[in-house]
Amino acid sequence: RSFASQTDGESRLARVLREKFPRASAIKVVDISGGCGAMYEIHIESEEFREKRTVQQHQMVNQALSEEIKHMHGLRIFTSAPKA
C-alpha cells in the first residue's frame, strides 16, 4: 500500500498519538484488519520512553488511546526510545 492511502482510523490514531507524545520522533499506525479498523499495529519511538520498562511504555500507549481502544478487537504495540 502506498503512503497516500492511509485509512481514517490510522490518521486519527496517529494524530492522537502525536498530541499525547509530543516528544515522539517516529509514529507509525497500521490497520492490520484489512482496513476494518478492528486491529492496529502501533510503532512509536519517543524520548518519553527512555529508562522505562516495556510494559510501562505500552501502558502509556494504552492510556493515551484508551478511548479508541474500546472500539478495537486488538492491537499490537511496539515502543522504543531513540538511540542515544
Among 2, 19, 22, 66, binds another protein (CB under 8 A): 66
Rounded-to-integer distance, Cα 22 and Cα 42, Å: 16
Instruction: Spell out the residues 6+ positions from residue 74 whose beta carbon is closer than 8 angstroms to its own.
Output: 38, 39
Q: Which of 11, 58, 83, 84 binds another protein (CB under 8 A)?
A: 58
The verdict on 32 binding another protein (CB under 8 A) reads no
Question: In whole angstroms, what is the distance from residue 84 CA to residue 70 CA?
Answer: 35
Is 1 a binding residue for another protein by CB under 8 A? The answer is no
The site for another protein (CB under 8 A) is made up of 54-55, 58-59, 62, 66, 69-78
